[in-house]
Structure 1
Amino acid sequence: MGGMVLETNMNEIVAQIEAQNRLEKSEGGLSAAPARAVSAVKNINLPEMPRNINIGDLNIKVPNLSQFV
């Protein structure tokens, strides 16, 4: 019994493997993004935020967020 012979260019295989490796490496930094975002929010000093923000005729009341610290 004979089998089907598949002719594949070795350069194509190597190029595809390298492309896959580059893609996986670039996606590696995305897994840490949520932890960095949480860390950045925790580093905000909420008690020192102003309570009222006045911009011309616009008055913005900032709620007390110290309970989240």
Structure 2
Amino acid sequence: MNPSPNKETRKRENEQSPLKKKFKDSAISKEELDAAIANGIKLALQEQQRGLDMAVASAVKEAVDSILVPAL
């Protein structure tokens, strides 16, 4: 069974893609690229966690200040 003409066209366009050519011609390996992406994701998650930690700390402080302190 032959692949559809559209599929063949897309495959050929993908193989001739300037972006794909740039990647092939670049000095970075697939492993290095994967590691860089993983590090970027890790940093983004750490930053998100810091933001959540600050929000929780702020909410707890506000609750303590508005509920517990006046009760004392």
TM-score, scaled to structure 2: 0.47
Greater strand percent: which structure?
Answer: 1
Structure with higher Rg: it is 1
